[in-house]
Structure formats: C-alpha cells, structure tokens
Structure 1
C-alpha cells in the first residue's frame, strides 16, 4: 500500500471503537513511511465531533501508538498530542518552540500539523512558522 492509499484509507474513517483494527493500522503505518505513524497520530488526536471517545480509551490508544515504534519526533510532539486528548490548547509560544524542534526532522509534516492545530494561533504566527518550515523542507529536496 502506498502512503497516499494509506492516507485515504484512514482519513475521516479511523476506527476509534475497533481496538484490533486501530492497532492493525498503527502497525501498518510503521511499515509504510517514516511520517505515516504521525498521520495516524493526527487521526488519534483530532477525533471528529461526531465521535464520542472515552478519555481513558483515548489515552490507551495514544499510549499504544507511542510504544509501537521509536522516533525522536514522538517526544517532541507529545505536548501537542496530549493537549488534543485533554482538550486543552497549548500556548502559541509553546507551539512555536515545538515547531522549531521539529524543523530538524525533515518531512515530519503530520507531526507539524498536530502542533499547528493544538494552539489558538491568535496572531497567525504558528501558521506562518508552519508554512516556512514546509517550504524549507520542500526546497531541500
């Protein structure tokens, strides 16, 4: 399965209430591409309003995701991830700090998006930082 096929197979279709299926998807993501597990993280964190997910189940899913593979990006993006799960925004300055750290890991697009959507971005500085990092990564290839 290609990255694109994987993306469309889970985008807005994540099986939050089917444990064996979300565990399978997490495992599959690790085999697809370096950024694919963070695509799954994005789905885990941004539960649609139409879905009701108990916080303990949400944390269980996140913890399973985190222990399924090793990447320095996991720890960097964790404050933003946990802010979603706990339904609390991080500050714009914290988001900017996290993005700066993530900029050292080219093509971590999905981790960067988790951070982008985890703060209020009142002055649109976080969005600007996001765009600058994406442009920097794209120009390096």
Structure 2
C-alpha cells in the first residue's frame, strides 16, 4: 500500500472504537512513512466529538509509544492542544510550521499544527499555503 492509498483509506474512516484495528493502523502508518504516521495522529487528535475523550487519549498514548521522529516535539505541542480541545496561539503555530517547513512533504504534521490555532486573520493560513507551495515546487 502506498502512502497516499493509506492516507485516503483512513481519512474520515478511522476505527476509533476498535482497538485492534486502531493499533494495526498505527503500526502500518509507521511502516509506510512518517507522513503516514502523522496522518494517524491527525485522525486521533481531530476525532469527531462523538469519540470519547478517554478513547482519544488512549489512542494518542499508543501512537506516541515507540514513535521517534525529529518533528515529534513540535507536532506534540499542537497535537496535545487539539486533544485537550484547546488552541495554541497563531504566533506559536506559525513558529511550529517554520520548524516543520524544513521537512519536505510532511503534510500531515503541518496540518496538525495548522488546525491547532484559531486563525481568524488568516496568518497561519498564509504560512501553511506558502510551505505547501514551496514543497510542491521542490
């Protein structure tokens, strides 16, 4: 399965209530790529409101267990804010996006940070789009 196929297969279709399937997807994402693994995280921390907070937190801890990547720290801050139903500041989100920018094609990590702020003025949106354009032209 390619990274793209994997991402498309779990986008809006994550099996939150099935621990075995969830753990399988966490493992598959890691085996495919960092971007695929960050997509799993994206699905966990942006789960629908119907998913119990305890389930989200449990899946988050399972995802974190054994995962290592240079982007873990910047993404972790944003992911934990989303998990807690809070926002980080737009300024902080832009700063984190700048850290992610160096890691070409880490779209899912970038989107986690993007969604972690309440960007009413479009500043994070502008930075997000600049990074995407830069990666696509690389």
Match of 1:15 in 2: 15
Gaps of 5+ in 2: none
The residue aligned with 2:51 is 52
2:6 corresponds to: 6
Q: Determine helix, strand or coil for the equivalent of 2:34.
A: coil
Secondary structure (helix, strand or coil) at the match of 2:97 reads helix
TM-score (norm 2): 0.94
Give runs of aligned pairs for residues 104-115 of structure 1, distance below 5 A: 104-115=102-113
Q: What is the aligned-residue RMSD (CA, Å)?
A: 1.2
1:63 to 43, 53, 61: 61
Q: After TM superposition, which residue ranges in structure 1, 4 or more long, deviate above 3 angstroms?
A: none
Query: 2:124 & 2:56 partners in 1: Cα distance?
Result: 26
Question: Which structure 1 segments of 5+ residues have no match?
Answer: none
Provide TM-score, normalisation by structure 1.
0.92
Matches within 5 A, 1:37-116: 37-49=37-49, 51-53=50-52, 55-116=53-114
